[in-house]
Amino acid sequence: MAAAGARIRFPMERYTVLGFIEVLGKIPAHVRLLRTLEAEFRAGRYDLLIVVDYPGFHVRLAEAARRHRVKVLYYIAPQLWAWRPGRARRLRAAVDRLAVVLPFEAEFFAGQGLAAEYVGHPLLDRPAPPTRAAARATLGIPGGARVLGLFPGSRTQEVDRLWTPFLAAARRLLAEGRCDVVVVAGTAEGAYPGGEGLVIHRGPPEMVFAAADAALAKSGTTTLEAALADLPMVVAYRVNPLTSWLARRLLTVPWISLVNLVAGKGVVEEVLQGEVTPAILAGRVAPLLDENDPATRAQREGLRLVRERLGGGGAARRVASLAADLLG
């Protein structure tokens, strides 16, 4: 957004956090931000509010905008189908239009009385990824190597919880000869202790998706990125134990990974909480490092289905059109 010319007044990296329990320490900062923005709605500073994802704060922000007759477009809608279907009434009162990015969401929200349009997924608007040969050449990886990709996440919380078991699983697979190279999708500031001998790539993750044969990936949009790259994966998810306990009682869907949700079936294995151990992770991802293994072939069929259901690009253009309509 900054590169496109937007002025970033409140960098959201200061506010975002994962989990029910973890969010408590961020509440005061969110309250101050909400009060600041509502004062600007009241002063007539804005004609249209576009909120993107992040429902814990943005639903409240949308309600504040509507109180002061500011139109609201919600892009990447709250996942009420997973957590709180009953909250659709509150969302219906807070927004004018929903732009959804998963193919099953438009029907769900329409059934809740919301004006929702499937615009496609923004990942499909990205430039064409590098070829495997080009990615491996850039990363200094031999063309014939068996490569395991590690995607521990970009948030410090995610890396803190997943890096140690991911690293130990990778070391085990290297020692067993199941892979030759391990490449990590890192961030510019991320710390990866014990990663000596691994390829730690701190640039765009597309390079790692293209270079790898299989992946250990944190849950989230990363799983859709891997599906688009036709990269077999095992998905891991680990949060605060109390957060996990609450999630098990609130979830209304059988999976946590977007790949399985879009496919409508268990395409990728999900390893959760206490099962996120080096032995289990290594055992689950090892077959996927062999392109001829039946597990690899079966998963690739499922990933193909996900790509078909996501359709083509154009999400940004469609959202811009919705915004223009609301602005009149």
What is the SS3 string spanning the chain? CCCCCCCCCCCHHHCCCCCCCHHHHHHHHHHHHHHHHHHHHHCCCCCEEEEECCHHHHHHHHHHHHHCCCEEEEECCCCCCCCCHHHHHHHHHHCCEEEECCCCHHHHHHHCCCCEEECCCHHHHCCCCCCHHHHHHHHCCCCCCCEEEEECCCCHHHHHHHHHHHHHHHHHHHHCCCCCEEEEECCCCCCCCCCCCCEEECCCCHHHHHHCCEEEEECCHHHHHHHHCCCCEEEEECCCHHHHHHHHHHCCCCCCCHHHHHHCCCCCEEEEHHHCCHHHHHHHHHHHHCCCCHHHHHHHHHHHHHHHHHCCCCHHHHHHHHHHHHHC
> pLDDT-based confidence at 103, cuts 50/70/90?
confident
> Do both 275 and 239 map to the same domain?
yes
Q: What is the predicted pLDDT for the residue at 124?
A: 93
> Do both 228 and 267 map to the same domain?
yes
Q: Taking all residues of the chain, what is their mean pLDDT, rounded to a whole number? A: 90
* Whole-number percent of the chain with pLDDT over 90: 67
> Do both 277 and 154 map to the same domain?
yes
> pLDDT-based confidence at 13, cuts 50/70/90?
confident
Give yes or no for residue 188 having a pLDDT over 70.
yes
Q: What is the predicted pLDDT for the residue at 111?
A: 86
Instruction: Let me know if residue 293 belongs to a domain.
Output: yes
> pLDDT-based confidence at 89, cuts 50/70/90?
confident
> Do both 179 and 280 map to the same domain?
yes
Give yes or no for residue 44 having a pLDDT over 60.
yes
> Do both 207 and 320 map to the same domain?
no
> pLDDT-based confidence at 85, cuts 50/70/90?
low
Greater confidence, 1 or 183?
A: 183
What's 149's domain CATH number? 3.40.50.2000
> Do both 57 and 71 map to the same domain?
yes
**Average pLDDT value for residue range 133-152:** 96
> Do both 302 and 317 map to the same domain?
no
Q: What is the predicted pLDDT for the residue at 84?
A: 62
Number of domains in the chain: 2
> Do both 178 and 295 map to the same domain?
yes
> Do both 27 and 68 map to the same domain?
yes
> Do both 283 and 317 map to the same domain?
no
> Do both 208 and 223 map to the same domain?
yes
Give yes or no for residue 206 having a pLDDT over 60.
yes
Give yes or no for residue 133 having a pLDDT over 90.
yes
Q: What is the predicted pLDDT for the residue at 93?
A: 92
Q: How far is CA 185 from the centre of its chain?
A: 14
Q: Are 148 and 213 in contact (CB under 8 A)?
A: yes
Among residues 36, 38, 68, 65, the alpha carbon closest in space to that of 49 is found at 65
Instruction: Let me know if residue 87 belongs to a domain.
Output: yes
Q: What is the predicted pLDDT for the residue at 294?
A: 97
Greater confidence, 106 or 245?
A: 106
Q: Which domain holds residue 99?
A: 12-120+313-327
Q: What is the pLDDT of residues 222-248, one digit of tens each?
A: 999 999 999 999 999 886 666 655 566
Greater confidence, 231 or 1?
A: 231
